[in-house]
Structure 1
Amino acid sequence: MLDALMMDRVDFVKLLIEYGVNLHRFLTISRLEELYNTKQGPTNMLLHHLVQDVKQHTLLSGYKITLIDIGLVIEYLIGGAYRSSYTRKTFRALYNNLYRKHKVEKSAALHKSRKKSKEEQNISDDPDSTGFIYPYNDLLVWAVLMKRQKMAMFFWQHGEEATVKAVIACILYRAMAREAKESNMVDDASEELKNYSKQFGQLALDVLEKAFKQNERMAMKLLTYELKNWSNSTCLKLAVSGGLRPFVSHTCTQMLLTDMWMGRLKMRKNSWLKIIISILFPPAILTLEFKSKAEMSHVPQSQDFTWYNGDQNTSTLKENSCQVNESQHFDLKSGLQTLPWTRKVYEFYNAPIVKFWFYTMVYLAFLMLFTYTVLVEMQPQPSVQEWLVIIYIFTNAIEKVREVCVSEPGKFTQKVKVWISEYWNLMETVAIGLFLVGFGFRWGAPPFYTAGRLIYCINIIFWFSRLLDFFAVNQHAGPYVTMIAKMVTNMFYIVIIMAIVLLSFGVARKAILSPKEPPSWTLARDIVFEPYWMIYGEVYASEIDGIQPSCPPGSFLTPFLQAVYLFVQYIIMVNLLIAFFNNVYIDLKSISNNLWKYNRYRYIMTYHEKPWLPPPFILLSHIGLLLRRLCQHQAPNDQEEGDVGLKLYLSKEDLKKLHDFEEQCVEKYFHEKMEDLNCSCEEQIRVTSERDIHLTEEFQRIARRDKKAFLSNQCKEIEENNRMGKTRDLFKKIRDTKGKFHAKMDTIKDRNGMDLTEAEDIKKQWQEYTEELYKKDFHDPDNHEGVITHLEPDILEHEVKWALGSITTNKASGGDGIPVELFQILVDLNPHVPSWTAAHQASLSFTMSR
């Protein structure tokens, strides 16, 4: 098995597995490391570059890649908060113990004996405790990182978790393609990896489509159940982090996101109006409809969700949170039973859509107060409105700190890195920091006091820009926000070119018009000030040909330079920028719907994780969360690493049912693919051609059998006539059996060896052949090209002798009317027949060669 994996022999691996090789016992840490370090079969040099990047130093020759290195590479490729199982503390401890044990046993073995069998060595470094729970998953990752696509496809088809395995393979291949492009490797390598990524992405989408058609609820569970072997994450979360837009835009995913967005609220039309009324008038909450427990069985929940019900133990939550099937019948029968009013209030304020509108309404009120604060005269002491703005921003800053602390990564630096990678989080951090600086300055003396007010005026721009994030939730306005961000990020190179043109003209113009300018920082402003406004149409016409008593030398060049500058900048560069924006708009407009669907996950997760009270009331929620944490008495180390977020915590029995359902969907998917392949036009043509060949061979076999039987019967009758002396019947039967002589021609070819089928071409070839017969020597050895004819065997010499000897008086062997005397003469000439026959055969041989 190990040799077959190293040499990339998929057929042998498949055969060994079919004959009972247990991968759970076969795959160990040492063997998996040996697979990563093998030199046999296809190798991937990109993997060594990636190991160098994560190790941050050059690898020595002969360096052995460890599984910990592979874990770091996987985390680097997937990114975000993903944590590989190879880098966790439990695996590191197991790996270090195994390494020390192997080292000790190896040194002891060297002291005892220099010779030791291979089987004995495997005992020490291959204990059962080093096996992998999901060997197909680990071998799939190995095949992907080693760029062995056929082997990766094989391991994807086997084992469990087919959907998430396809997603992981797609993410890894896509990241490797990006790294190959950035490393200036061959372009074919990057394109090849992109094609592999698309194949696995399509597989994930097809399996999800098949599962959704089979059972919608089970398909949604496939997206959000906890994946123990994949950083305790979910398939949906991995797909979003990997950028699988078609997968996230699928109907199954969108239905799940809609259920997550609405929470337990059951609304269809005018949901925003009902929610706003309920927020402003809380008693209206009791009139709303809510979903039953059975209808929410597929919706993922966080661990804190069950605190309201009194579940304080995480293990109890994971074992009991998915015992929904037992209570589904009760929920369906008691569908008309209403929830308690306290539960309604709790479910209402914890729905992400309610949080969104609640936060939006409070944020608009904050912007109104902030606008009022910067527009009116600032007093030495903050007004009530300014204090409300200060409290809002301070409480919002506390919430941002809480978000960083409760984020998924383990290390604080990684938490900050992942959190700050979100654009809106970065912008809000800058806005809060700038406001704090302005707040500090406003308490100072008049110079600092004025600076503080100016900072307030600049700071409010960031808070107004933050409104765009609220618009992104809307299906119609959201794509436009994305388009603006795409245009701003992609216009960098064009703006650089425009800046070069502007500086070249600005420096020349300033130098010509002001030759005696003293050194000053205002020169930098004067260089770009007027040329910049010329882009928007302000050409300063009064200064082009002004009447001045003393014009500086060379000032006549300024109008000419300005004309060239305006032509290049205003006509060429501005129109190029507009054309570029138009292309971005067209490209994004075609995928705007899928793009908005893909971004929905971020909005939903953002508001699902927020406390239900917005700033400044959010302090009450923080106090409640702190009290809940104290009441749970859970140590920080008790919580599993990465065990946060929205997930379905399934029991072992439910998880097995889900895996069986997924395997059935994969089997049906491949069965349908085979049927589609058989039904395709090309396949039908191929099958028809094979059937035609088979029928032709069968007809030829039957014809040969019948001909053999016919000739056998004719020979028996000829022998019977010869024995009985019936000469006339004998020769008649021979003539009928042999038939007339036909010079059979199989094919006629031209000088290039091509078959001729048209009558005109055949006639022309015969004409050329005849002309060459007269032009060339009859015995020319080179005159053997052209028509090839296959003739039937002529009458043999002994047949002629036998026919002449069988002639009786006044009778010839045939009814052709030839006198018998002629055959008597031939009898006399019998001694000369061999020489004639040889000459005749030589002539026929020459004709056949022609």
Structure 2
Amino acid sequence: MRDHADHYETQAMGVFSECHTSDPQRAQKLLIRMSPSWGRCTCLWLALEAQNKRFIAHSGVQSLLTQIWCGELSVENTYWKVLVCMVFFPLIYTGFLSFRCDEDIQKEAERTEQQKRAKDSRQTNTKNKQNSRGSSQTSEIKPLNCGSRLMKFFHSPQVKFYWNIASYFGFLWLFAVVLMIDFQTFPSWRELLLYVWLGSLVCEEVRQLYHDFDGSGFRKKAKMYIKDVWNILDVLSIVLFIAGLVCRLNTSDTLFYIGKVILCIDFIIFCLRLMAIFTISRTLGPKIIIVRRMMTDLFFFMFLLSIWVVAYGVAKQGILIQNEHRLDWIFRGAVYEPYLILFGNLPTDIDNTQFDMNSCSLNATDPLKPKCPILSEDNMPVFPVWLTVILLCVYLLFTNILMLNLLIAILSYTFQEVQDNTDTIWKFQRYELIKEYHSRPALPPPFILISHLIIFIKGVFVRSPAQGHQCFRRELEESEEKKLLSWEAFMKDNYLSSTRQDENHSVEHRIQDTAEKVKEMSELLERDQKMVSSRMAKRLTKLEEQVTEALRWIMDAMKSQGYQSKLEPPLLTSKSIDRDDGESSGQETEDEKPPHTYARQLQYPGSNVTRFPVPEEKVSWETNFTSYLPSVYNQQESDNSTDASALDKYRNPGGRTGIRGKGALKSLGPNNTIHPILTRWRDGERTVLEFLAVWKDAEKCYCLPGGKNRQKPKTFYVQF
């Protein structure tokens, strides 16, 4: 399943990359289009549900998220321009800050100018119609007025985020002032403002819990809310604040102080919640992800470390102290002091030379001093010093050297592992923050209570339907959806064809093709080697026979001249004895004969026409030769155009010759000839029969006289 998931993930990213390269606007529509086949879900939502981080990290998806994050503001605006306009908002009317609508108007103006130039160059009517359509679209885009610019600016998720950061820092500052300076018996105006501020945060958390962004239902929304770590911190901080507030409003001094302690701890959690704000930052966001992973590793490491701490602490406490009943001092001796040893705070009570009677209590009567160890008659400790020192050395060896270096190695490995994927993980988690601030009201806390009141009145009394988030979910018209899906199918085919082409040109495919070709060539070489060896043996046999005949002729000639040798003549092996049983007389069989004689020449006789190269193993028509494309040659015709069906019908019975057509002949198929045979007897005794022959320069041989005849030949005899 994982392999199939990775395969389809790669295919989806490839198709979307092809679409985004061709048309980014249409590609973004594919991401937010609600598909009826998948329960009115979008491709973006399906990728998020499948935890497909690679797809979300795609540049096309990130450009869509960046566009949503900026709202109606231009993506090209720097953050310092946005911050300046937040303080001096009249600057948005001066062109200091650009809006997306302004860019669209500028693009349409440039397009209109190009269309005018196209009209001047007398283009086709079809293009003129397209120009008229473009002008009609240009008229639909209107510039933003003053009120629209102000509303678009403050409703941008980016601006909401900056205002909420400023508001959260103000909340923490007010919280710190109340805890350190203005925490009185009766709440002051600062503390009351802090309560109102926290109430606005509580209302916002309730709105986020009940706000159905994706239309998935309250139960699923609640599960998704609980799974988020930052939401858990929000709930925990609110619960602790309420608990501290209840204790703080009590008249008892003890509960009053307990309430303050709880609020101080709650302040720590609120400060930790501040890290979630910086997840949008490209620099700090990945670092926060690394810190979260390291905290998980640190938790499991502390479990291993606690074994050594408790083991040493309990052993030391039992050796030094006799029957300590105070729980706080038991915890100090068994856990707290061994833990401080990790940071270099070495104990002084394990060595007799550093013992001080005034630093301990004999019977544990002083609650501010630890109990004294077992003492001798001269008030000196009796515990074995050598044992306590050895235990301390072993404890330092395993904790300060082994365990701490193990922790460094674990954190280094986690950093290296996460660092390679932090950009992908950060881009994936960035979606949740953008979605949160896109649906968040424009006013920051505590002024957000006004927005909550308006939302409550609209939902309960007016019962107006909730506004849809078309930036994340969009339902297209039927005609527009058909065009978009057909374009997507076309892009998919382009991607698949390019993928196949890349595979064909890939190194692996080339290696495979080369291996197949090498294998085929090796087979051909082996076959040719066998044929060459058999031919060589036949040629050697013929040469041997010729040499034997020549030697016999020389010997006979010498004998006829009267030459005699003192030695016996050598025995020359005859043909019939040397030849194998399977061979016939010196002539070759039909299978052993070469395929052609004159057709093996490079050029056709009497012309400059070059033959198509045909290997000997491809001469036979029974052998497959797909690349065989010979030229057509008709010597007696001005053009070489011949019907292809006729050429396929009449083929050389001896096999492929590397050329097609009539050649030097007059017609395709059989060309009838008449060869008269003229013979005579040389003498009256009829011992020698002579015949008439003609020498032909083309064939370099004697031939019978005669010529071509279009009629069917007949055999007849004439005697004269």
| TM bracket, shorter-chain basis | 0.5 to 0.7
Residues 563 and 682 (structure 1), Cα distance of their counterparts in 2 relative to 1, 3 Å cut: closer
Tell me, in whole angstroms, the C-alpha distance in 1 between the residues paired with 2:85 and 2:57: 31
Q: Find 2:488's aligned residue among 662, 676, 680.
A: 662
Paired with 1:694 and 1:520, the residues of 2 have a C-alpha distance of: 88
What per-residue deviation string (whole Å, max 9, x for no partner) do you get for residues 589-627 of structure 1? 222322322222122111111111111111111122234
Q: Secondary structure at the match of 2:40?
A: coil
Match of 2:238 in 1: 432
1:472 offset after TM fit, Å?
Answer: 1.7
Task: Indicate the residue corresponding to 1:513 in structure 2.
Answer: 320
CA contact (8 A) 1:266 1:290 kept: yes
Check the 8 A contact 2:203/2:452 in 1, yes or no. no
Letter aligned with residue 671 of structure 1 = S
Superposition pairs for residues 379-418 of structure 1, below 5 Å?
A: 379-407=184-212, 408=214, 412-418=218-224
CA contact (8 A) 1:294 1:332 kept: no
| Contact 1:503 1:528 (C-alpha < 8 Å) held by counterparts | yes
Distance 2:470 2:153 in 1: 22
- Code of the residue aligned with 2:5 in structure 1: it is S
1:339 is paired with a residue of what secondary structure? coil
619-628 vs 338-347, greater mean Cα deviation: 619-628
1:225 is matched with 33
Q: By percentage of residues, which structure has more helix?
A: 1
Query: Relative to structure 1, is the Cα distance of residues 613 and 506 closer, same or farther in structure 2, using a 3 angstrom cutoff?
Result: same
Write the mapping of 1:306-317 to structure 2, written as runs, cut at 5 A.
Answer: none
Name the CA distance, whole Å, in 1 between partners of 2:525 and 2:402: 75
* 2:37 counterpart SS class: coil
The structure that has the greater radius of gyration is 2
The separation in 2 between residues aligned to 1:290 and 1:417, in whole angstroms, is: 38
Residues in 2 aligned to 1:539 and 1:229: alpha-carbon distance in whole angstroms: 69
Residue 468 and residue 693 in structure 1: after superposition, are their counterparts in 2 closer, same or farther (change >3 A)?
closer
Residue 32 of structure 2 contacts residue 471 of structure 2 at CA under 8 Å; is this kept in 1? no
Corresponding residue to 1:504 among 297, 311, 333: 311
Superposed displacement of residue 632, structure 1:
6.5
Q: Structure 1 pair 536/669, CA: closer, same or farther in 2 (3 Å)?
A: same
How far the C-alpha of 1:686 sits from its partner, in A, is 5.1
Q: How does 1:114-513 map to 2 (within 5 A)?
A: 193-269=1-77, 271-287=78-94, 288-292=97-101, 330=136, 332=138, 337-407=142-212, 408=214, 412-445=218-251, 446-513=253-320
Tell me which of 423, 436, 445 is aligned to 1:593: 423
Q: Specify the code of the residue in structure 2 equivalent to 1:737.
A: Q
C-alpha separation in 2, matches of 1:367 and 1:413 = 33
Do the aligned residues in 2 keep the contact of 1:262 with 1:352 (CA within 8 Å)?
yes
Distance 2:425 2:587 in 1: 83
SS at match of 1:265: coil
Distance (Å, rounded) in 2 between the aligned partners of 1:195 and 1:645: 33
Q: What amino acid is the match of 2:307?
A: I
- Report the alpha carbon displacement of residue 493 of structure 1 after superposing the two structures with TM: 2.4
Offset at residue 668 of structure 1 (A): 1.5
- CA 1:692 to 1:556, structure 2 compared with 1: closer, same or farther past 3 Å? closer
Assess, with a 3 A threshold, how the Cα gap between structure 1 residues 349 and 559 changes in structure 2: closer, same or farther: same
CA deviation string 1:109-161 (max 9, x = no partner)? xxxxxxxxxxxxxxxxxxxxxxxxxxxxxxxxxxxxxxxxxxxxxxxxxxxxx
**Structure 1 residue 737 corresponds to structure 2 residue 579:** no
Identity, % of aligned pairs? 26
Mapped to 1, the partners of 2:387 and 2:500 lie a distance apart of 76
Aligned to 1:602: 432
CA contact (8 A) 1:294 1:328 kept: no
How far does the alpha carbon of each residue in 1:450-509 deviate from its partner, in whole angstroms, 9 at most, with x for none?
111112211111111122112221111111111111100123322111011111111111
Amino acid at match of 1:559: V
TM-score for both structures, normalised by structure 1: 0.53
Distance 1:697 1:460, change over 3 A: same
1:676 to 502, 517, 520: 502
1:215 counterpart letter in structure 2: D
The 1-side partners of 2:283 and 2:330 are apart by 47
Separation (CA, whole Å) in 2 of partners of 1:498 and 1:654: 63
Deviations 1:749-807 (A, max 9, x none): xxxxxxxxxxxxxxxxxxxxxxxxxxxxxxxxxxxxxxxxxxxxxxxxxxxxxxxxxxx
CA distance in 2, matches of 1:424, 1:587: 23
Q: Is the 8 A contact 2:197 2:446 kept in 1?
A: yes
What letter is aligned with 2:449? L
How far apart in 2 are the matches of 1:480 and 1:693? 55
Say whether the 8 Å CA contact 1:265–1:348 is kept in structure 2.
yes
Residues 388-445 of structure 1 show CA distances to partners (whole Å, capped at 9, x for unaligned) of 2111111110110111111357664443221021111110111111111111111112
User: What is residue 170 of structure 1 aligned with on the other side?
Assistant: none
The alignment of Structure 1 onto Structure 2 pairs a total of residues equal to 489
AA at the equivalent of 1:350: H
- The offset of 1:514, in angstroms, is 1.0
Instruction: Report the TM-score, using the length of structure 2 for normalisation.
Output: 0.62
Whether contact under 8 Å (1:294, 1:331) holds in the other structure is no
Corresponding letter in the other structure for 1:524: F
Q: Deviation of residue 279 (structure 1)?
A: 2.2
Structure 1 residues 459, 700: CA separation in 2 closer, same or farther (over 3 Å shift)? closer
- Determine the structure 2 residue equivalent to 1:534: 341
Q: Which runs of 5+ in 2 are unaligned?
A: 106-130, 358-378, 535-575, 577-582, 593-720
The 5 Å alignment of 1:614-693 reads 614-629=444-459, 633=463, 646-684=472-510, 687=513
Once residues 228 and 302 of structure 2 are traced to their aligned partners in structure 1, the CA distance between those partners, rounded to angstroms, is: 25
- Residue in structure 2 matched with residue 558 of structure 1 by the alignment: 388
Whether 2:368 is the aligned partner of 1:544: answer: no
- Partner Cα separation in structure 2 for residue 284 and residue 516 of structure 1: 76
